[in-house]
Structure 1
Amino acid sequence: MKAPAIGLAVCAVLVLGGCTDDGGSDSADPSPSATVATSATPYLPVPAGVTLTPPGSQLSVGDAAVVAYEPRQEQVGALDITVTKLETTKIEAFSAWQLSDAQKASTPYYVRATIENVGESDLGGRPVPLYVVNEDDVLLEATPFASSFKPCPSTPFPDPFAPGDTAKVCLVYLAPDRGELEAVSFRPEETFNPITWTGEVEKYVAPKPDKPKKSKDSKKSEKP
């Protein structure tokens, strides 16, 4: 059987400039682990009661951000995103797939997040709007799979993904030239001052399979 091909976006999506808060303030960061910019008005229309995290916010793994974006014309999506874990694995994890030479020379990363739809649009089937930033300040897109990849499915939002729905997602990124993951980024378009998450990148450890539970009848039969 022919090995399935793996889709890959290792090319630069956006080259990041030095994105900084232009407020010019010398005030201290609000906390040691997160830098949050200030914003007077939402950058996109969102439902009442939804407060957007300001563009330029620098967060840590485990922090939540409420963001808005336009997945298509005249549609606004609002998401509550918590990046929960960053992992790396060996390229051999993809041995069942056909890899190009460039893919074989990449470093694979898994980004796990919990995302709630807090807007008014059904975002079912839409790509998860998260990127990673490598050591060259280049945004990399997630790698989709044509078939199931159990360690990290790397799929779009479930269909439907209606207002109020929550999904736990895992996205695969292949950093070219054995590159490094520096941050996870929400940057829906080039002029947006990105919201980023940073944290420790752990080695992926496959979960241990659950031990089958013995029924009461089988336990009775084992007694002498």
Structure 2
Amino acid sequence: MNGIHTRKRMWTLVGLAAVGALTLTACNDDPAADTASSTPPPAAAPTTPAASASTPAAASPSGAATSAPAAAPATGGGTDATPGQTFKIGQPAQVQFTSGSTKGVIALSVTAIEAGDPADLAALKLGDKAKGLVPYYVRYSITNTGTTDLAYTSVDHVKGLLPDGSEAQELMIIGGFAKCANPSLPKGFTNGQTAQGCAVALAPAATKVSGAEYWGAPYSLGKGAIFWK
């Protein structure tokens, strides 16, 4: 399948997430901001975009990559994180990861939560929807610890948390955003390979984003997620 990079008009909308938390969605076709596009996979592989490397990635092992059948789950040999479990920032959690028909095991770790500048949002043209809000960049590391090639899959479902434990407002970006880029995992993402992800969370100026949660399957929002604080 040939890679096609489709530019989209910049637009914004406000919607309600499944649990009632306010979410802002923005499209950005600014070429300068679109720093990380990825090559679409073969027809059998998922193409959903995911978070990208905006911090240096860990060294990857050399050698030929091998792939397990997409539908075959892999085990990392450790103990899976349990719903409700809390980790320290920088501490990895073992996750049984699923993206479409692809199953594998990853070590997922929120590595940093960085306060941005409200001016960072200007390119997204959110207008009054972002008034009084400060962007925070939740950066996380993804390491393939299983036997399945996870190329072109998406590791998202990461949200910021406020100091009281409530969810920060989420900013979903369609297109590129240089401050927090989000391509899918690269080709040949096999055992030992590491990539960096980023999610944007918004908080009122009077508070901050101090933690994060992952609620992708087999986890769920709220008490069913895993947390970093």
TM range (shorter): 0.5 to 0.7
Identity of aligned residues (%): 23
Cα displacement string for residues 78-136 of structure 1 (whole angstroms, at most 9, x for unaligned residues)? 21012111111221122233113212332210111221022324251424232223457
Give the number of the structure whose alpha-carbon radius of gyration is greater.
Answer: 1
Is the Cα contact below 8 Å between 2:113 and 2:210 reproduced in 1? no
TM-score between the two structures when normalised by the length of structure 1: 0.59
Which residue, out of 166, 180, 201, partners 1:173?
Answer: 201
What is the match of residue 190 of structure 1? 220
Is the Cα contact below 8 Å between 1:82 and 1:115 reproduced in 2? yes
Q: 1:180 deviation in Å?
A: 3.6
Structure 1: gaps of 5 or more residues: 17-44, 199-224
User: Are 1:14 and 2:19 an aligned pair?
Assistant: yes
Count matched residues.
165
Instruction: Please state whether the residue corresponding to 1:112 is helix, strand or coil.
Output: strand
Aligned-partner Cα distance in 2 for 1:178–1:161: 43
- For residues 1-224 of structure 1, what are the structure 2 equivalents within 5 Å? 5=10, 11-14=16-19, 46-47=74-75, 49-72=77-100, 74-119=101-146, 120-134=148-162, 135=164, 137-138=166-167, 141=170, 143-149=172-178, 151-153=179-181, 155-160=182-187, 162-164=189-191, 165-175=193-203, 180-188=208-216, 189-190=219-220, 193-198=224-229
- The one-letter code of the counterpart of 2:220 is E
Structure 2: gaps of 5 or more residues: 1-8, 22-72
Q: 1:197 deviation in Å?
A: 0.4
- The one-letter code of the counterpart of 2:108 is I
Aligned-partner Cα distance in 1 for 2:123–2:76: 47
Q: Say if 1:82 and 1:15 are closer, same or farther in 2 by CA, change over 3 A.
A: same
Aligned-partner Cα distance in 2 for 1:181–1:89: 11
Is the Cα contact below 8 Å between 1:133 and 1:139 reproduced in 2? yes
Q: 1:137 deviation in Å?
A: 2.3
Two-structure CA RMSD over aligned residues (Å):
3.4
TM-score between the two structures when normalised by the length of structure 2: 0.58
Q: Say if 1:175 and 1:152 are closer, same or farther in 2 by CA, change over 3 A.
A: same
Query: Comparing both chains, which one has the higher relative contact order based on Cα–Cα distances under 8 Å and sequence gaps of 6 or more?
Result: 2
